[in-house]
C-alpha cells in the first residue's frame, strides 16, 4: 500500500464533519450519517452487501456471514466534540484498503470477512461509550438504552430510527464471528514505530458528580451565608487531579453543566463528569473512592451535597493472548497497553479480539492535533492486510 493510495481514499472521508474547532461527528447527526453513506458506497464499490443491525452498527460482508467463523475488522465514525479525524475512521478506511490489497495479491478469503462501523463509540451524544457494541454483547440493558436522550432531549430511537423493542443482545451475530481485529490510531506517544499490537485496555469509566446547593443573588448574599456548589465542584476537580497523580492513574473532569448558569447568580446545581482510568482495578477503585470521600467532606464544609453515580464502567480487558502473540510475531511489532477504551475491548469478552495501533507522532488525541502520517497509515493498511491474509486466507 502506497501512502498516496491511502491518502486518496482518506481524503474522500476526512472533510465530513470537520470545522475550525475540529470534528463534530455525533452519532446519527448529519455528518455521521454522511459517513454511513460513505461506508455503503465503499462497500458497494467492492461488491459487499451492507446491513445495519438492531443496535445501529454497520456491517459489510465479503462472503456469506451465515457460514460462520468470520474475521471482522473495522472501528467507528463518531467523534468527541472538537475531536480529531483519525480516532475511529482510520480503522474503517484501512479495512476497505486492506481488502483491496488482498485482492491484488490474488488471495481469496476462505472465511467470511466483515467490515464493521460501530454506533456511538465515543458516547458524546447519548452519554454511554461503545453503545452499539455494548448492546450487541449484552453488557448494556436494552431498557436503559431505550431511555437515553441527548442534551437536546431527543430520544435514542428518534435519532437513530431503531426499534426500541429490537435493541439488545445479538448472540447469533456474535456466534458467527471467529475473530475481530480493530486498527486504531495510537492515542499517546507510546509507539516509536509505525505499527504496534495492543496487549490490554486499562479499567476505566465515567461517573456523574452532582453538586447541589442554594441558588441566590451574587451581589446581595453574604459570603458567609452562601451554599455554593461551584466551590465544592472546584475543590473536587483539584482533588481528582491530586489523587490520580498520587496513584499513577488518570482522572479528568472535562465536562460541566451549571444551573441556572447565570453570571450574577450563585449556582443552585453543578454537574460534572469524572473520567477515571488506572492500570489495575484496585487502583481505579481506590481513586474513585478517594475522590468521592474528599468531595463529600468538602460538601459538608460548604453546606452542599454531592452524589456520585457511575454511568459506564469497564473492567480491565486483556486481548486474546494467542491471537495477540500470533499477530505480534507475524508483524514483528511491539506489544503495548492503552488507557483508551474501544469497541474491541467490549467484543473481547465474547470473541477472540486483537488491536493494531498506528503511530501518533504528536501524542494528541480527542483534539484537532490528532495525527498520523500517510506513510504510517499505509503501513497500518499493509499490516492489517497481512493479518487478514493470516486469519482468513489460510
| CA atoms of 105 and 143, how far apart (whole Å) | 47
Q: Give 339's pLDDT tier (boundaries 50, 70, 90).
A: confident
| CA atoms of 132 and 294, how far apart (whole Å) | 35
Mean per-residue pLDDT of the chain: 96
Is residue 278 predicted with pLDDT exceeding 90? yes
Distance of CA 157 to the CA centre of its chain: 21
Is residue 394 predicted with pLDDT exceeding 80? no
Is residue 102 predicted with pLDDT exceeding 90? yes
Report which of 124, 119, 72, 80 is spatially closest to residue 99, judged by C-alpha positions: 72
Torsion of CA 6, 17, 86, 42, to 10 degrees: -40
| CA atoms of 72 and 84, how far apart (whole Å) | 24
Are the CB atoms for 160 and 56 separated by under 8 Å? Answer: yes
Task: Give the pLDDT mean for 160-165.
Answer: 97
State the pLDDT at residue 314.
86
Q: At what angle do helices 89-104 and 374-392 cross, to 10 degrees?
A: 60
Q: Give 38's pLDDT tier (boundaries 50, 70, 90).
A: very high
Task: Give the pLDDT mean for 1-13.
Answer: 97
Task: Give the pLDDT mean for 142-165.
Answer: 96
State the pLDDT at residue 337.
87
| CA atoms of 380 and 95, how far apart (whole Å) | 10
Is residue 191 predicted with pLDDT exceeding 80? yes
Q: What is the chain's length?
A: 394
C-alpha cell at 382: 499493509
Secondary structure string (H, E, C) spanning 171-214: HHHHHCEEEEEEEEECCCCCCCCCEEEEEEECCEEEEEEEEECC
State the pLDDT at residue 353.
97
Task: Give the pLDDT mean for 213-221.
Answer: 97
Q: What is the pTM of this model?
A: 0.86
Q: Is the dihedral of CA 79, 80, 86, 91 positive or negative?
A: negative
| CA atoms of 366 and 188, how far apart (whole Å) | 11
Amino acid at each position: 500500500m502506497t501512502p498516496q493510495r491511502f491518502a486518496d481514499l482518506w481524503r474522500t472521508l476526512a472533510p465530513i464533519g470537520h470545522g475550525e474547532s475540529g470534528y463534530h461527528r455525533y452519532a446519527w447527526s448529519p455528518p455521521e450519517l454522511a459517513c454511513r453513506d460513505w461506508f455503503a458506497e465503499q462497500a458497494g464499490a467492492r461488491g459487499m452487501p451492507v446491513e445495519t443491525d438492531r443496535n445501529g452498527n454497520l456491517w459489510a460482508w465479503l462472503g456469506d456471514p451465515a457460514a460462520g467463523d468470520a474475521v471482522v475488522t473495522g472501528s467507528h465514525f463518531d467523534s468527541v466534540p472538537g475531536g480529531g479525524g483519525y480516532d475511529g475512521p482510520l480503522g474503517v478506511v484501512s479495512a476497505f484498503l486492506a481488502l483491496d490489497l488482498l485482492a491484488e495479491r490474488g488471495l481469496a478469503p476462505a472465511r467470511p470477512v466483515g467490515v464493521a462501523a460501530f454506533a456511538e463509540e465515543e458516547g458524546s451524544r447519548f452519554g454511554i461509550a461503545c453503545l452499539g457494541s455494548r448492546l450487541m454483547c449484552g453488557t448494556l440493558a436494552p431498557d436503559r438504552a431505550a431511555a437515553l436522550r441527548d442534551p437536546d432531549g431527543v430520544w435514542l430511537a428518534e435519532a437513530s430510527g431503531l426499534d426500541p423493542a429490537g435493541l439488545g443482545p445479538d448472540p447469533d451475530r456474535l456466534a458467527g464471528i471467529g475473530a475481530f481485529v480493530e486498527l486504531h490510531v495510537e492515542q499517546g506517544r507510546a509507539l516509536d514505530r509505525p505499527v504496534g499490537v495492543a496487549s490490554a485496555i486499562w479499567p476505566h469509566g465515567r461517573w456523574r458528580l452532582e453538586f447541589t446547593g442554594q441558588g441566590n443573588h451574587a451581589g446581595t448574599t453574604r459570603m458567609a451565608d452562601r451554599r455554593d456548589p461551584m466551590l465544592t465542584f472546584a475543590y473536587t476537580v483539584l482533588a481528582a487531579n491530586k489523587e490520580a497523580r498520587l496513584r499513577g492513574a488518570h482522572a479528568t473532569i472535562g465536562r460541566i453543566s451549571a444551573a441556572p448558569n447565570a453570571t450574577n447568580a450563585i449556582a443552585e446545581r453543578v454537574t460534572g463528569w469524572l473520567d477515571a482510568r488506572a492500570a489495575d482495578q484496585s487502583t481505579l477503585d481506590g481513586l474513585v473512592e478517594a475522590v468521592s470521600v474528599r468531595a463529600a467532606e468538602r460538601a459538608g464544609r460548604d453546606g452542599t451535597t454531592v452524589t456520585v453515580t457511575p454511568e459506564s464502567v469497564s473492567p480491565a480487558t486483556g486481548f486474546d493472548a494467542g491471537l495477540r502473540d500470533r499477530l505480534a510475531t507475524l508483524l514483528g511489532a511491539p506489544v503495548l497497553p492503552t488507557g483508551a477504551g474501544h469497541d474491541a475491548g467490549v467484543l473481547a469478552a465474547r470473541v477472540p479480539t486483537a488491536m493494531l495501533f498506528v503511530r501518533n507522532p504528536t501524542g494528541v488525541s480527542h483534539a484537532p492535533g490528532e495525527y498520523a502520517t500517510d506513510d504510517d497509515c499505509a503501513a497500518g493498511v499493509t499490516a492489517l492486510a497481512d493479518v487478514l491474509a493470516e486469519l482468513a486466507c489460510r
